[in-house]
Structure 1
């Protein structure tokens, strides 16, 4: 049973898996997840700053979403929004 719990030596393969490679992948993902948390905190601060300056955060987020799209996609989304609003009498 102790064989199952021992840490593999460098370069060792366990159950057909290169333990060092697997560890490296997992550790890289963990580092990136930490960076993502830090970046999310920075973004939250920027939105707080925008709100404090009198900007509407929901509108800023909508603009950011539109800026990620291709111009044709933006036009299509705006056209559909207009059609749906007219259909609802807005």
Structure 2
């Protein structure tokens, strides 16, 4: 079947729409990557400031991770750790 001029015009419009949509997704993703990098830099700056003021940043990161978890999960993990410490005589 031979493609008519009208068929070609429809195909071109379809490709143009798909390309525009695809470009939109890619640009949105790239923007998010840039924002994520900027946030990472801000997080590093906060930790550097805390360290400069004498805080243990390793402990701060541990506290931040703990705050994301449920209290029951933390209690269970700490109970297991205590049991293991006792078994090892620590």
* Superposed counterparts of 1:1-90, under 5 Å: 12-13=14-15, 18-90=18-90
RMSD of aligned C-alpha atoms? 2.1
> Who is 1:4 aligned against?
none
Find runs of 4+ consecutive structure 1 residues off by over 4 angstroms.
Answer: none
Greater radius of gyration (CA): 2
Give the structure with the larger strand fraction.
1
Displacement, 1:11? Answer: 5.3
Relative to structure 1, is the Cα distance of residues 50 and 11 closer, same or farther in structure 2, using a 3 angstrom cutoff? Answer: farther
Q: Any gaps of 5 or more consecutive residues in structure 1?
A: 1-9
Q: Any gaps of 5 or more consecutive residues in structure 2?
A: 1-11
Displacement, 1:70? Answer: 1.1
Displacement, 1:50? Answer: 0.7
1: distance between equivalents of 2:47 and 2:84? 29
Q: What TM-score results when the alignment is normalised by the length of structure 2?
A: 0.75
Q: What TM-score results when the alignment is normalised by the length of structure 1?
A: 0.75
1: distance between equivalents of 2:24 and 2:85? 52
